[in-house]
Structure 1
Amino acid sequence: MTAPSPRALAWRRRGAAFAAGWRQFASQRSGLVGLGLLVVIVLLAILAPVITDQGGLDVTEATGGTMAPPDGEYPLGTDRSGRSVLLLTLWSSRVSLLVGFVATLLSIAIGTVIGILAAHYGRWVSAGLMRVTDFFLVIPSLVLAIALSTVMERGIGTIILAIGLTSWPSAARLVRAQTLTIEARPYIERSKALGGGHLHVITKHVLPAVLPLVFVNTTLAVGSAIVAESTLSFLGLGDPDPMRPSWGTMLRSAWLDSAVLAGAWWYLLPPGIAIAIVVLAFTMCGRALEAVLNPRLREG
């Protein structure tokens, strides 16, 4: 019998590590609950064009009454234009989740690159990159996002750039600290002594060791990105297209239409509850992943 190749052994070890990690994650009840909620919400967002008609978002085709209460035809009532609040909530999930995921990936990518470069090269490179990071940390990210959204054309792309380009400093500092710890290990010195260049050390040794922390931070950051998108949209800086609503634009519309004064709780609560549930689900998953990847937390 021929011995398995090194690549096959590596994949076997990765599979065993993934199975062990999944068992640890499954032992965290809160993580399973959060994962289940996310799966349901993401599936509803993906299947919204299949299970509903986007034409109902058009105010010219609305058939309901003005802020009518929930009934058999409209389970969550209608807005001022007569559109179904349930339909708006489902379609808004597509925009809010898209912005949350893409903006988080952008911010984590920027933070990871800056953190690794600052820790690996040190000296003036680290000093320069950390001063830039400190500048973004001093100024509130929401203020910078509002400024960018104001000077750029309104739209989903602008919201993603505004959030992604202003929320990376915390990730950069976390990655830098983790990279400094990894760079001090003996196998890094051995790799350099054997002729490994900067690119080899970063891609083959540092990045794989940093990725678990990056993955956990990504899970926790998506909720913050969704809240940031909702805040910007509530302030009137979101996508102006009524056919691409988000939970933030729904809250803004309910506020402008004086839903509270009119007693139309069904107009205001669904987007707010949806934001709270999604953020809670991502937080629960992130905390469970932290316990899986950090033995000290798992022992506690």
Structure 2
Amino acid sequence: MVDAPETAVVVAPRRARRQAIPPVLRRMAAMPLRDPFAFAGLLIYALFVVVALGADQLAPIDPLEILFTKAGKVAANLGSSGEYPLGTTNLGRDIYAQLVHGTRSALAVGLSAAIIVATVGTVVGLVAGYFGGTTDAVLMRIADMALSLPFLPFVIVLTGFLGADTSIIVMAVALLLWPNSARVIRSQVLSLRERAYVEAARVTGASHTRILFIHIAPNILPLSFVYAAIAIGWAIITEASVNFLGFGDPTSVSWGMMLQDAFTSQALSRGQYAWFVPPGICIILVVVAGFFISRGYEEVFMPRLRGR
């Protein structure tokens, strides 16, 4: 008889904490365990993160170091071997080391752009959808202007004027991708602001800031997460494209730089498939992972898809 009240005291706070979490966030957290697409996408991203964090241990050779054979010659265009798993480039650099260390550059660009896109898109969508009127019209016209710009040419021109730096590529991607998430989040907020719990918050005297970020924002955070995942793929593709076209930073190691070096040195004609196929596969995997996550989380926003 003594243990029952203590158990009730322990269980009640836990139940209260679970009830305090919005249902949409609970479904978002559980989705990877229920949907194979979302699980596969998150698993691919997790794999690349592990590789990026352990790049120095997985590939201790400097990716830009020019290697030499025992005879003192440049170890150029060597095939796959135990010492060089993917062979070497025409300048005698380890392809495997470039592939592994290129993961860091790709994730740095992808994650930075994703955070900026998700943050700016979420805030703009919240403000535009909640306040409406002139605020909504001005923000959406700015979004329309950004969407009207050609994506890759804009990034190339910006890097040409401001310099071939990774931060410039991130800024360019963020400037053009935030309107997509902002417009979708705005449409969601237009519906949420009319819900009963938002009206109840207004009646109790809650401020606009509290209503936006406490009552409405948790319900659209999964949508921000989806667009952030998609932005990672777009940012990495853009960085690879800019580097492949020769507008990137020549001192950085990236998958796009590997493809550009392989193309200019005519690696395909020599049958050096291990030079350009692995970075291409990595880029494809990152893009596919973003699609898998967005596909898996569709039912969080469209419950009618559940059970199909």
Q: How does 1:9-24 map to 2 (within 5 A)?
A: 9-13=15-19, 23-24=30-31
The amino acid across from 2:62 in the alignment is G
Check whether the contact 2:63–2:253 (CA below 8 A) recurs between aligned residues.
no
Cα distance in 1, alignment partners of residues 205 and 11 from structure 2: 25
Q: Deviations over 1:186-228 (max 9, x none)?
A: 2212211221221111111111111111112212221122111
- Is the contact between residue 63 and residue 101 of structure 2 (CA under 8 Å) also seen in structure 1? no
1:235 alignment partner in structure 2: 245
Aligned partners of 2:244 and 2:257 also within 8 Å: yes
TM-score by length of 2: 0.87
Aligned residue type for 1:29:
P
2:64 maps to: 57
In the other structure, the counterpart of 2:269 is 261
- State the Cα distance separating 1:250 from its structure 2 match: 0.8
In structure 1, what is the equivalent of residue 166 of structure 2?
156
Cα offset for 1:46? 0.8
1:285 aligns to 2:300 (yes or no): no
Q: Whose radius of gyration is greater, 1 or 2? A: 2
Q: Which segment is superposed worse, 72-81 or 173-182?
A: 72-81
Does residue 141 (structure 1) correspond to residue 148 (structure 2)? The answer is: no
Query: What root-mean-square deviation, in Å, do the aligned CA atoms of Structure 1 and Structure 2 show?
Result: 2.5
Deviation of residue 36 (structure 1)? Answer: 2.7
Which runs of 5 or more structure 2 residues have no equivalent in the other structure?
none
Which residue does 1:208 correspond to in 2? 218
1:62–1:83 CA contact under 8 A, matched in 2: no
The 1:130/1:24 distance shift into structure 2, 3 A limit, reads: closer
Out of 1-10 and 201-210, give the one that drifted further: 1-10
Q: What are structure 1's unaligned runs of at least 5 residues?
A: none
Partner of 2:48: 41
| Amino acid across the alignment from 2:158 | L
How big is the shift at 1:11? 2.9
Asked if the contact 1:106/1:165 (under 8 Å) is kept, the reply is no
Per the alignment, residue 113 of structure 1 pairs with 123
Deviation at 1:86, TM superposition (A): 1.0
For 2:199, the aligned partner's letter is E
Q: Is the 8 A contact 1:155 1:240 kept in 2?
A: no
Identity across aligned pairs (percent)? 32
Partner of 2:33: 26
| Closer, same or farther: CA 116–292 of 1 in aligned 2, 3 Å | closer
1:95 aligns with 2:105: yes
Q: Kindly tell me: are residues 123 and 274 of structure 1, through their superposed partners in 2, closer, same or farther at Cα, counting changes over 3 Å?
A: same
- From 167, 174, 177, give the equivalent of 2:177: 167
Assess, with a 3 A threshold, how the Cα gap between structure 1 residues 4 and 117 changes in structure 2: closer, same or farther: farther
Change in Cα spacing, 1:8 to 1:40, as seen in structure 2 (3 Å) is same
| In structure 1, distance between residues paired with 2:227 and 2:83 | 42
Number of aligned residue pairs: give it: 297
Partners of 2:27 and 2:230 in 1: CA distance: 22
